[in-house]
Each structure stands twice: as structure tokens, then as C-alpha cells.
């Protein structure tokens, strides 16, 4: 029973939340449940929280020590608009910030670019220069709050803006905690917000990983994301496998850049979807932890337990929300959020009921946050680590999802002649990932159309669909004009010679693969060079990517 003793030592050494760990009727709850005492073989088959292979959770005490971070995703209009929402989230009890950027920002274009007309501020906040980043986080102590930024192709540029903003407010980069999504591989597979071809884009990812490993010990430089893969139509097994394959590819990328695996792997994080099939989602998270731990130890030689423990953020499924009877989305979100918690997530965003129609209002975002708070403080599910561990159903599903993911890994390794990095590149180049996701999405749509899969309010139980829609958040043309005028004012006030000189250094460094681009990007953003100017400069060296259609 050495494993039980190790778990007990870890558990006893962990802090304890100020909470009463009993049922509502007062029945005391143990921190962990399993087979009868003395049945060591049965216990070891399921495992222990905080111990390899971490199927039951990355930490021995799980939520008894610390609840998950309630990180609400927000962003709309101008930086001033979103800054106000950030303050509202923190005042309502949110414990982390997550930034949604608008489509022009995600695509590396400025708000005054003619191709961006009508899109500025619509699906997130517009950030063109350091001035916008400074306004976005005005009045927020960046040393005291962790921030997640969902951005990919321009991720290195946006990270530079965030660092510069923090340092100008007196917070050193080493004190910054948070996450940069920066997962460019899934853009070619699913979300399509790419700018440069895959290989130079991966150079930028490697530069941010090396920079964070050297100078930002609390920062997660890549959040390997299955969320968008699932939203594009993949199955749970595909989401699991494609996401972890991308993670292994980043490990191989960083090792090729000269980093030891234990120097960077502890700061890699993951981002999964919480879909509506309750038990399948729980099993997916448990399988993900087990696969990651085993591969990092056995294939990549990691020895630091922090490298082996997969930690992840969860967001409830946007694609499961319906425009019909949107109040039903509150129930869907609660069920999906509960799956994330029972699966052992480290942070969670809950979607708002009106997001199938528009960006959420302040009221619906507050309801979504309150949903997490009800789960955390009223249901008792946070009192016990992995409360479903040992369930015949959950354990069988966990094994099955692991087996399906393993088959996909074997295919990718074959494509890459033994290299996961090259296998993923080959899968992108040939359209294999895109084809797999497309086929899965088509199969689900057929089930919806012929009634084999019921979605309440869509293909069954449609009474109430004729009722008026709730009040929605509207992003006006005036907000776009405000952002464009602000950008023009920043350009008029800056030192253009300094901008040109900084961009020249960016171009020169981009031409030298052995040079880390982060220092040049930091200098450029501090001259108030725009995101679009910096991305255009990089494109002069890297080129722009045009996807080959999948037939």
C-alpha cells in the first residue's frame, strides 16, 4: 500500500479550504473513495489523485484545497467597454480574466484596415496598439489576477503588449500569471484563424515557449486547445486525440529548439470543450490526464511530476447552445460545467444563455458565473476528489476513449515516420484533420435531421419557439468608429522614426531562425507600432498561408 501512503502524505500536506466537508444533512465526507481498505490491487487499478498516471486528478486533495478558477471569457467593442466588463466580473466573484479579441485582432489586422469594416469589436475586443492594451487592463492589478488570452497567430505580439502594459504599471514580467492560447496547429485543423504558413508559425510558438521558460515562470505560453476542434464538429475521441497529438508536437518542437522537457512542460496547459454528453466528457478528461502522463514519461523522458500532470481549462460547448428557447441553455451550461468539475478541471468558463444570438449581456454573463458558484458552493461535488472514480461505466468509457485516441496517434506517427511533429504537419498538409472533422460533423447533422439525435427546441419539443427573444447586446457602428479614430490618434502622436526602426529589427530578426523574436516584438509594441504593421512585417519574411480545399 505504498501508493496509498504517498497519497496520504500529499493530502496531509495540502492546504484546506474554509469549508465544511459534509453532505447537506451533515454526513461527514472522506476526501477520497475507492474499494475496501486492504484491496490494494483494486485501488491501484483506478489510481490515486495526484499520482501517476493522474487519471483521478492532478492533485491529491483536488477541490478540498482550492476550487477551480472561475475564469469568465469577455471581450466586446472597445478596450474601454471590455475593461468595464472585466471590473464587473471581478466584482461579481470571478477569480480570473479571459480575453476575447475581435476577428480583425485575431487575424492580425488593424481596425482601420478596409477588409475589417463591420467586424471591429463584434466578436471580441479590438486591440490595435499598446494603448488599447493599457486601457483594457486599466485599474486591474496584473500581479494579483491571472489572465488568459485567446489568440493564436498574433499571440507573440499580443503577449508583448501585455508584458509592456504590466511593466509600465510596475508589475515585472516574472510576476505575471496567466495563459496565452498560442496553439497555432489547431487553427489549420479547425478554426482557420491563421496568417503565416505552419512552419514559420511554429517558430513563433517556440520563441514564446523559450522566452517564458527563461523569464516568466508563472506564465503558460501555450494552451493546447481541443475546444475549437470540438466546436468544428469533431467527436470526443477526435478532440482528445488531436489535442494531445498537438501537445506532443509542441513538446518535440521545444526539444528541437534546445529545451529540456522538464524546463518547459510544467508550463504547458490544455483547453477542452465540455459538451453535452455528460459521462463521455468526464471520461475524456480522465483519459487525457492518463495519456499525457504516460507519453511524457515513457516517450519524452520527463521526470518532474509537474511535467506529467495535465492541467486544463474548460469551456462549456458553444455549439450545443440553441437560438430557440435560449433559456434552456442555462440548463445545458450547468450540466456541461458539472461534467468539467467532475472531470477535474483547473479553471472553467460557463457560456451565457444568449450566446447563440449575440455576445452576452451583463445579466446573462452574471447568471453564467452564478452557475459555477452554485456548483462550487451548494452541490457538494467539490468535497471529494474524483467522486465517479471506480464507476464501471466511467472507467469503461475512459478506457475506450484512450483506445480510440491511441489508434489516431499510431496513424499520425506513421504519417510522420515516427515523429508526432511531422505527423501533425503531414495531417495538416494533406487535409486529413479537416476531413476527419468534416465527416464527424456531417454524421452528427444527419442524426439531427432524421431525428436519431434529439435537441430540445430544435427538432423536438418546439412549443415556445415563437416567444420573443431576450434583450441582446448590440455592438454599434459608433463603437467601431470610436476605435478607428483612437487608432488614428495613436498613430498621429507616436514617433514614426522609432516605429520604422523597430519594425526593421523585427524583419531582420525574422530572417534569422536562431534569434528569438520576443525582444524585438517588445521593442516594437512600445513604440506603438500596430499589430497589423508588425504582422505585415513578419509576413514579408514568412509569407501568408492559403489553405488547400479539402474535397
C-alpha cell, 480 = 467601431
In degrees, rounded to 5, the angle at the alpha carbon of residue 298 between the alpha carbons of residues 292 and 301 is: 95
pLDDT in tens, 271-324: 999 999 999 999 999 999 999 999 999 999 999 999 999 999 999 999 999 999
pLDDT at position 42 = 67
Higher pLDDT, 125 or 2: 125
Closest CA to 247 of 308, 192, 191: 308
Name the grid cell of 283: 471520461
Quick one: which of 371, 372, 346 has its CA closest to 285?
A: 346
Encode pLDDT of 481-521 as tens digits: 999 999 999 999 999 999 999 999 999 999 999 999 999 99
Least confident segment among 42-51, 58-67, 367-376, 471-480: 42-51
Domain boundaries, the chain: 62-430
Task: Give the residue-averaged pLDDT of 194-223.
Answer: 96
Identify which of 66, 133, 73 has the alpha carbon closest to the alpha carbon of residue 313: 73
- How far apart are the C-alpha atoms of 119 and 105, rounded to whole Å? 10
pLDDT digits (tens, 9 = 90+) for 152-177: 999 999 999 999 999 999 999 999 99
Total Cβ atoms within 10 A of residue 392: 7
Task: Tell me: pLDDT of 151 over 70.
Answer: yes
What predicted TM-score, i.e. pTM, was given to this entire model? 0.94
Q: According to the model, what pLDDT value does residue 54 have?
A: 96
> Is the pLDDT confidence value at 37 over 70?
no
**Residue among 15, 12, 71 nearest 311 (CA):** 71
The residues pairing with 73 across neighbouring beta strands, listed in sequence order, are 98
pLDDT range class, residue 36, cuts 50, 70, 90: low
Is 548 a residue whose pLDDT tops 90?
no
Question: Is 481 in a helix, a strand, or coil?
Answer: helix
Nearest to 344 by CA among 375, 301, 314, 302: 314
CA dihedral 28, 29, 34, 37 (to 10 degrees): -40
| Cα–Cα distance list, 161 to 148, 156, 165, 309, 526 (Å) | 14, 9, 6, 30, 8
Reduced DSSP (H G I as helix, E B as strand, rest coil) percent helix, strand, coil of the chain, to 5:
55, 10, 40
Q: What is the mean pLDDT of residues 525-540?
A: 98
For 41-99, the pLDDT digits (tens) are 667 778 999 999 999 999 999 999 999 999 888 899 999 999 999 999 999 998 889 99
Contact 234, 437 (CB under 8 A): yes
pLDDT value at residue 551: 67
- The answer to whether the beta carbons of residues 23 and 29 sit under 8 Å apart is yes
CATH number of 62-430: 3.20.20.240
Asked if 457 and 465 count as a contact pair (C-beta separation under 8 A), the reply is yes
Task: Using DSSP, state whether 82 is helix, strand or coil.
Answer: helix
Amino acid at each position: 500500500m505504498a501508493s496509498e501512503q504517498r497519497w496520504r502524505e500529499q493530502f496531509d500536506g495540502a492546504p484546506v479550504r474554509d469549508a465544511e466537508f459534509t453532505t447537506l444533512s451533515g454526513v461527514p465526507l472522506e476526501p477520497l473513495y475507492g474499494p475496501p481498505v486492504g484491496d490494494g490491487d483494486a485501488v491501484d487499478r483506478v489510481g490515486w489523485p495526484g499520482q501517476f498516471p493522474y487519471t483521478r486528478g492532478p492533485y491529491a486533495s483536488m477541490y478540498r484545497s482550492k476550487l477551480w478558477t472561475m475564469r469568465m471569457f469577455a471581450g466586446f467593442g472597445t478596450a474601454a467597454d471590455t475593461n468595464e466588463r472585466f471590473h464587473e466580473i471581478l466584482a461579481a466573484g470571478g477569480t480570473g480574466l479571459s480575453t476575447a479579441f475581435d476577428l480583425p485582432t485575431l487575424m492580425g489586422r488593424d481596425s482601420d484596415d478596409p477588409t475589417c469594416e463591420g467586424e471591429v469589436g463584434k466578436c471580441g475586443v479590438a486591440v490595435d496598439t499598446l494603448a488599447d492594451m493599457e486601457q483594457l487592463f486599466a485599474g486591474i492589478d496584473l500581479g494579483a489576477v491571472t489572465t488568459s488570452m485567446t489568440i493564436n497567430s498574433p499571440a507573440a505580439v499580443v503577449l508583448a503588449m501585455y508584458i509592456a502594459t504590466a511593466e509600465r504599471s510596475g508589475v515585472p514580467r516574472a510576476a505575471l500569471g496567466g495563459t496565452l492560447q498560442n496553439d497555432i496547429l489547431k487553427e489549420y485543423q479547425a478554426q482557420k484563424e491563421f496568417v503565416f504558413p505552419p512552419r514559420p508559425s511554429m517558430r513563433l510558438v517556440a520563441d514564446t515557449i523559450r522566452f517564458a521558460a527563461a523569464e516568466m515562470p508563472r506564465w503558460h505560453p501555450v494552451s493546447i486547445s481541443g475546444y475549437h476542434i470540438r466546436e468544428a464538429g469533431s467527436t470526443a475521441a477526435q478532440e482528445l486525440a488531436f489535442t494531445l497529438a498537438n501537445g506532443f508536437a509542441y513538446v518535440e518542437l521545444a526539444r528541437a529548439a534546445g529545451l529540456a522537457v522538464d524546463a518547459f512542460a510544467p508550463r504547458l496547459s490544455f483547453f477542452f470543450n465540455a459538451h453535452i454528453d455528460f459521462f463521455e466528457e468526464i471520461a475524456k478528461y480522465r483519459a487525457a490526464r492518463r495519456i499525457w502522463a504516460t507519453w511524457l514519461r515513457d516517450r519524452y523522458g520527463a521526470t518532474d511530476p509537474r511535467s506529467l500532470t495535465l492541467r486544463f481549462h474548460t469551456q462549456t460547448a458553444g455549439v450545443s447552445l440553441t437560438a430557440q428557447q435560449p433559456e434552456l441553455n442555462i440548463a445545458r451550461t450547468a450540466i456541461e460545467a458539472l461534467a468539467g468539475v467532475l472531470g477535474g478541471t483547473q479553471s472553467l468558463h460557463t457560456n451565457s444563455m444568449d450566446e447563440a444570438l449575440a455576445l452576452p449581456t451583463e445579466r446573462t454573463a452574471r447568471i453564467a458565473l452564478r452557475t459555477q458558484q452554485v456548483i462550487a458552493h451548494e452541490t457538494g461535488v467539490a468535497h471529494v476528489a474524483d467522486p465517479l472514480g471506480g464507476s464501471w461505466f466511467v472507467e469503461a468509457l475512459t478506457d475506450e476513449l484512450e483506445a480510440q485516441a491511441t489508434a489516431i496517434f499510431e496513424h499520425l506517427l506513421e504519417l510522420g515516420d515516427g515523429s508526432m511533429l511531422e505527423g501533425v504537419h503531414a495531417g495538416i498538409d494533406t487535409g486529413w484533420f479537416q476531413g476527419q472533422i468534416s465527416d464527424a460533423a456531417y454524421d452528427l447533422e444527419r442524426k439531427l435531421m432524421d431525428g436519431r439525435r434529439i435537441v430540445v427546441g430544435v427538432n423536438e419539443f418546439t412549443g415556445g419557439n415563437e416567444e420573443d427573444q431576450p434583450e441582446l447586446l448590440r455592438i454599434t457602428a459608433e463603437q467601431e468608429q470610436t476605435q478607428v479614430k483612437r487608432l488614428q490618434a495613436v498613430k498621429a502622436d507616436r514617433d514614426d522614426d522609432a516605429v520604422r526602426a523597430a519594425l526593421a529589427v523585427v524583419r531582420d530578426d525574422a530572417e534569422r531562425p536562431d534569434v528569438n523574436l520576443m525582444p524585438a516584438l517588445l521593442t516594437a509594441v512600445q513604440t506603438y507600432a500596430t499589430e497589423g504593421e508588425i504582422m505585415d512585417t513578419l509576413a514579408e519574411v514568412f509569407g501568408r498561408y492559403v489553405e488547400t480545399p479539402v474535397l
